Every structure is written in structure tokens, then in C-alpha cells.
Structure 1
């Protein structure tokens, strides 16, 4: 009787673990409706370059978007930008588009761009950006903050803090 009780307990634990694993896996693949709406909003906002040109991220529909929120006064932001430029050059032909959205003043972005040119477009964040960043997963409102959006407009990942080239490649390669 003792061994039968252990066997039943083992079967119960195995079934419970299987069920829990299924639920966790299923929920991790399901988008939070607020995040889904935030990505849709991010894609349709008209962003302006420091020079005054306007573009929507949805204009790159069908590409994998790497959207980096940064500022000229943020050292980790400035450190990752050369790596993002290299990645844009390397993965751009495979349908990857990097975009920088500055939480900063246009004049400072222009000045920065002259000293440290990047190979991807830089835009100025509109006033509603802090609220949108929070909905994308950055409750701390800290920089740098990077999101990866799939070719079909789904949030794939978000990363708060400096994103190393190795970690970036791990996020991009499965999407190519």
C-alpha cells in the first residue's frame, strides 16, 4: 500500500507539472492586450527626424523592427549605438530595420549625429512616448530600452538597459 501511494503521488506530481508547463508556455506566447495595443500605436505614430522629416514605423511593414529608445545624455545608449549600426549593416539585407527614438531635444540629436553617425534613422519622441514605453514593458521609464517587433507587428521582446551585440543577435537570428 505504501508503494501504491508513492506511485499515485508521483503520477499526480507529473500531471500537475505537465499542466503547469503547458499553461506557462501558452501564456508566454499570448500577448498582453495592453502590449498588443501599444505596439499597434507605436507603429502608427508619425515620428519626426531632427531635420523635420516624418515617417511611421508601419512604413517598414514586413521587416523585423528593432526600436531603441535612447538619449544623448545616456552613456549606455551611446555605447550600444555603434553595435546597432553594425547589426543594421549586417542584418538589414535580411529584412531587419533598426530605428532610434530619442527621448531628447532635436538640436541635441542633430549635434550627436554629426559626431557619432549611425546607419539607421533617428527620430524624436513625441510627448506621449513615456506612457507608451511603460505599456511596452518599461515601467521604470529608464534608458536605454529596446523592443523587437516581428514582421507581422507582434512584440517579440523588450530589453531594459544596454543590449549587447551577442544578446541582440540571439533575439534576431531566430526571426530571420
Structure 2
């Protein structure tokens, strides 16, 4: 058996972890899709098709997980290697956390406020820390939060979530 570097030994671990996370999230979304309202006139509810898709994703990820486990065996890596890799992905992880917070607060803060806060935070995180860059980031966030809101409401007559406060 050939010897792997620390980085190479981390890949199978991350692959198995991603299969497990995607399968878990697909099962959760399948449960959420099952709670969609049903119609009296349709034989299948509104959540039937999304449920089939999410359950298929969960089954495929489970099969991939088991297949990879039998092919490679249990992955061996150290916590130090994992933490080093996570530190390298700091910006990606923070952006993911910001996006999850954006989706969580969207129903309460409304589209314009939550989109403005998300875009501002994400751009300021990634932009150079200069006053002009921050001002431009805030202007871009304002345009891309108010612009689509008014476009959808005035042109398409589609109303995006409004603030509940």
C-alpha cells in the first residue's frame, strides 16, 4: 500500500463527510416537502415530486458512502490536518454561514433588508479594507437589494417577502 501525504489522506474523509451531510439534508428536505399542502383535485400532493427527488438524492449518497467505505476503508487522518484545511477555507465557511443566516432571517427581515445586510457583509468580508471599497460595497448592496425588489413587484407583480416588524 502506498503512503499518502496528510493532504491526500484528508480527501477520503471529506468525501465521506460530504456524502453524509448531503444525504442528511436531503432527508430533512424530504420531510419538509411532505408538509406542503395537498389539493383535493390532484392525486399527488404538491410535495410528492420534491419528496421523490430528495429521497433519491439521499439513497444515492448513501450508496456512494457505503461503496466508498468498502473500496477505501475507514479514512485515517489527524485533527491537526483537518483544522489546517478548515483554516484555509475560512472565507468560504464564513460566506456559507452568512448565506444560511440570510435565508433564516429572510422571512422576518424581508427581502430588501436581509439582502442588503447579506450582500454588505459578504462584500466587506472579501473586499480590501479601504473606505472607497466599503462605500462601493454598500452602494452595490443597496442597488442589488432594492433593484430586484422593485423590478419583481412593479414589473412582474411578484411580491418578495416583506419585513414582519
TM-score (norm 1): 0.23
In our comparison, the structure showing a higher alpha carbon Rg is: 2
Richer in helix (by share): 2
Richer in strand (by share): 1
TM-score (norm 2): 0.25
